[in-house]
Amino acid sequence: MEYCGAGSITDLVKSTKGNSLKEEWISYISKEILNGLSHLHLNKIIHRDIKGQNVLLTENAEVKLVDFGVSAQLDRTIGRRNTFIGTPYWMAPEVIACDENPQATYDNRSDIWSLGITAIEMAEGQPPLCEMHPMRALFLIPRNVAPRLKSKWSKKFHNFV
């Protein structure tokens, strides 16, 4: 594995004043994550654990996705999965639904949800609902409206999330 001397996005956020990255950095990092996800998704792979801890930066500010331990190859005919796996606060509602309903499925769009939660993490220092017990968060994520940014961010960023 390549050395990523700048650490994880989570480390970077925690080291900043106010536990928040500037919007320009969030935009750059999100774009690079999307580039990585595009490559994975074109190859029918779902990462399934996109979060700040699994996004590393090199000393040259190159963005690297890591921890493919729970990634999955999509079936070539169906293109969907039905296994409940990932980190609770970043999980898409459709992934959580697989725990309650064996017929529920999800696809690579669950990584896009997790990227949105990661963008909120970069902006606000933590993902939504992280003050709650993980099991409580798993209960609420599919039942609540999608999380939103606080009002201090640009309209473009709000629309992205």
Q: Can you read off the two tokens belonging to residue 67?
A: 């921890």
Reply yes or no on whether 49 is catalytic. Answer: yes
Both tokens assigned to 94? 């459709």
Q: Is the dihedral of CA 28, 145, 137, 154 positive or negative?
A: positive
d(CA 67, CA 31): 19
What distances in angstroms separate CA 80 from CA 76, 110, 134, one per listed residue?
A: 9, 11, 25
Say which of 49, 67, 99, 107 is annotated catalytic. 49
* Gap between the Cα atoms of 47 and 160, Å rounded: 20
Q: Which helix (H) or strand (E) holds 37?
A: helix 23-42
Catalytic residue annotation: 49
